A and B are shown apart, each in its own frame.
Chain A
């Protein structure tokens, strides 16, 4: 696989498109929002300075790099902040704060390998093929992880979906 350097505009575009999803991904490893943001920014700043060559699929590289940086941050950081003390990971379109927290909790409870496929697919718009390549597993494995994760999230979020449907019907 050939390596190339991304231009500053490409890097900024990637940050705008996927920064939020990558931050969400980083927060699965580092609960503290500030530390998670630092991890994401470190990765993008290295790209901006041209210190790193990316592979053909920059998004897959970004997920791997953010994961490694966030894990390093978690190891070196002595801070251990409880989930409840943190601000929410999401903003719901309808402003349902309770649903936001429920999704955050449900996502946090997923195993790492299931959570990362969900984030890649739902909030970064990657196909399952791309997610499989990014995580270095066969497509079938990525697909089954995704299916399991979706099942758990659906179960957890059921009350909030019903609520939404009821509101729509009214």
Chain B
């Protein structure tokens, strides 16, 4: 190493490399940088979520099986009500048609339908009964 080299080395040492940020002092801070401090709580939360999911699956599997047909089957009373309502609608349509086309047949049909198809007015709570009063 000659004198020129040493002079040039001194010249280079006039340049100071930029300082890095200081090392953290607290061990907690060290943990945060290297290994997140929330690792254990996160692991516990993940384990709890898995346990809940497993318990839910076991409960679901242990339930009494319900057949699809029974789930969609409607109660008999409900079906009867629907049939009755459809019958009334059909009767009303038939009456309307006769009223427009053939009055003689309309009178006949009206006398047939009255006991079953038309609203009753002899019940104490029926609206026709109330209006008649």
Q: Which of A's residues lie within 8 Å of B, judged by CB?
A: 11-12, 15, 19-24, 33, 37, 40-42, 44-46, 48-49, 87-94, 99-100, 103, 118, 121-123, 150, 153-154, 157, 161, 164
Contacts and interface: CB of A to CB of B under 8 A. Distances in A.
Contacts of A94: 14
A81 B80 CA distance: 79
Given A48-B23, A150-B8, A20 B30 contact: no
A103 B9 CA distance: 13
Contacts, number: 78
Contacts of B17: 20-21, 23-24, 89-90, 123
Interface residues of B, number: 18
Contact of A92 (B15, B20, B21): B15
Given A41-B33, A122-B9, A157-B11, A24 B18 contact: yes
Given A90-B15, A92-B14, A93-B16, A49 B30 contact: yes
B18 A15 contact: no
A21 B18 CA distance: 8
Contacts of A103: 12, 15
Contacts of B8: 150, 153-154, 161
Contacts of B33: 41, 45
Nearest to B22: A15
Contacts of B12: 103, 118, 122, 153, 157
A20 B20 CA distance: 6
Given A48-B23, A122-B9, A150-B8, A42 B18 contact: no
B102 interface: no
A45 B8 CA distance: 35
